[in-house]
Amino acid sequence: MKIRVAGAGCCLMDLIYPEVDFSSAAFRASASASEGDGGLAPGRLVFAADAEDFAGRPFAEVLAAIVGRAPDGRAAAPAAENVGGPSVVSLVHAAQMLEGEGAEVSFHGAAGADAVGGELRALLSRTPLDCSALERRPGRTPSTCVLSDPRWDSGRGERCFVNDIGVADSYGPADLGDRFFDSELVALGGTALVPRLHEGLDGVLTEARRRGALTVVNTVFDFRAERRDRSAPWPLGGSRSAPLRGPGPAASYSACDLLVMDRDEALRLSGEREIIAAAAAFRSSGVGAFAITRGGESVLAWAGNGRFKPMAMREFRVLRPPQGTGSSRGDTTGCGDTFAGGIIASLAEQLKAGRDGLDLDEALSWGIAAGAFTLGILGGTYYESRRGEKRELVTSRREAWLAQERK
């Protein structure tokens, strides 16, 4: 039996500028003056369109002023480019872990018919992820400019993100065909950066569940919901979706088998100020299970409904780095995405084995191992030198975590 995993959501190209000076006059000229005004801010993401409105000129000019100009007058080329996005990064990882295991992992989305889109496709072709449903559309490929100042905050460093939605703005539920919905596992990641898909998240999850798929959602910070109302809980989906706290049923929760979030996202989705109160809200939401990551501290998880074996809420420690390796902080880019990908891969293997009740504990061990592995590389997407390399490397990380837990 072949297990089909289909995913949709955020897929973009990260354009990385590692040596930006946030204290420079050029950066300060476009820096935020107040929360949500569209200006650039260390540690925050802003949409390119909002940055243009704030600066009163095209973002290309803002970028050129900050990073310098190439001989043709345009902004200097980034130092590195890599595949990014909560959906595609998690699926690449799942595809690498499942290669040769009787599984098919596919991504469904859109990229532009531009040079960046060509580079994105070329990078994805180096992975076992099936991208035949990645549509080529006229326009710009979604991208995020990652501006990094390693000297910021007394040498601790910080990044600023500028997201260009590009052709992702035109991709929605109507673009998902039968192949997507007829999969055994459907994964939706970072849909808040794909607006039309996010608006229809309730319906996509409900249809996938109706056709018998296991549904997994991994979230991203919802900047649009935050801009609409910073005091109201975010809906899990677009503005028409019911929030967790509020009148009416929240269909996106009841149709979601597993919800994966980080701490900030969990607090904003629940409308709570403390993580334990947020977890209690999710337990009564109708969701089958959840996992809340807390950076380098731990993962809080619970399973109690639907297709999962019941698991009381418990805390899972992350993998501690070996002693003598220096700072415990590495490059955290993509760690949360591959954490979700590790869980997805484990659940797919469990489905293939015909498990009566899915084991979230086991899936989390693979997710934690994936995040620990990603902490030691640059960016979230790893390109294998040979088939099975990633699985071997992550397996060793999982064995280290299991040994840690036995102590």
Two structure tokens written together for 299: 């993962």
Task: Give the model's confidence band at 88: pLDDT under 50 very low, under 70 low, under 90 confident, else very high.
Answer: very high
Radius of gyration of the chain (CA): 20
Indicate the SS3 state at residue 283: helix
Summarize the confidence of residues 317-326 as an average pLDDT.
62
Instruction: Please tell me the predicted confidence (pLDDT) of residue 390.
Output: 96
**325 has pLDDT over 50:** no
Q: pLDDT tens-digit profile of 41-59?
A: 998 889 999 999 999 999 9
Rounded CA-CA distance 316/296 in Å is: 11
DSSP for 367-405, please give it: HHHHHHHHHTSSSS----SSTTHHHHHHHHHHHHHHHHH
* Identity of residue 382: Y
Instruction: Please tell me the predicted confidence (pLDDT) of residue 326.
Output: 37
Summarize the confidence of residues 180-197 as an average pLDDT.
96
Instruction: Please tell me the predicted confidence (pLDDT) of residue 80.
Output: 84
Two structure tokens written together for 397: 């990380």
Is the separation of the CB atoms in 17 and 193 below 8 Å? no
**Low-confidence winner among 60-64, 293-297, 339-343, 387-391 (lowest mean pLDDT):** 293-297
Instruction: Please tell me the predicted confidence (pLDDT) of residue 290.
Output: 98
When the pLDDT of each residue in the chain is averaged and rounded to a whole number, the result is 91
Task: Give the model's confidence band at 239: pLDDT under 50 very low, under 70 low, under 90 confident, else very high.
Answer: low
Which among 3, 4, 7, 367 is positioned nearest to 187, based on CA atoms?
A: 7
Does 400 or 228 have the greater pLDDT score?
400
Which among 241, 234, 228 is positioned nearest to 201, based on CA atoms?
A: 241
Which among 144, 126, 150, 90 is positioned nearest to 371, based on CA atoms?
A: 90
Q: In which residue are the tokens 């299991």 written?
A: 402
Task: Give the model's confidence band at 109: pLDDT under 50 very low, under 70 low, under 90 confident, else very high.
Answer: very high
Q: What percentage of the chain has pLDDT greater than the value 70?
A: 94
Dihedral, CA of residue 119, residue 120, residue 121 and residue 122, to nearest 10 = 50
Is the separation of the CB atoms in 103 and 396 below 8 Å? no
Does 378 or 179 have the greater pLDDT score?
179
Does 322 or 400 have the greater pLDDT score?
400
Summarize the confidence of residues 331-354 as an average pLDDT.
93
Instruction: Please tell me the predicted confidence (pLDDT) of residue 379.
Output: 78
Task: Give the model's confidence band at 322: pLDDT under 50 very low, under 70 low, under 90 confident, else very high.
Answer: low
**238 has pLDDT over 90:** no
Task: Give the model's confidence band at 271: pLDDT under 50 very low, under 70 low, under 90 confident, else very high.
Answer: very high
CB contact set of 61 (below 8 Å; sequence gap of 6+): 55
Summarize the confidence of residues 347-368 as an average pLDDT.
95
Which among 266, 372, 292 is positioned nearest to 325, based on CA atoms?
A: 372
Two structure tokens written together for 129: 């992820």
CB neighbours (10 Å) of residue 294? 15
**321 has pLDDT over 70:** no
Q: pLDDT tens-digit profile of 111-163?
A: 999 999 999 999 999 999 999 999 999 999 999 998 988 888 888 788 898 99
Rounded CA-CA distance 51/274 in Å is: 32
Task: Give the model's confidence band at 249: pLDDT under 50 very low, under 70 low, under 90 confident, else very high.
Answer: very low
Q: Which domains does the chain have, with CATH numbers?
A: 3-15+86-143+167-406 (3.40.1190.20)
Which 8-state DSSP code applies to residue 85? -
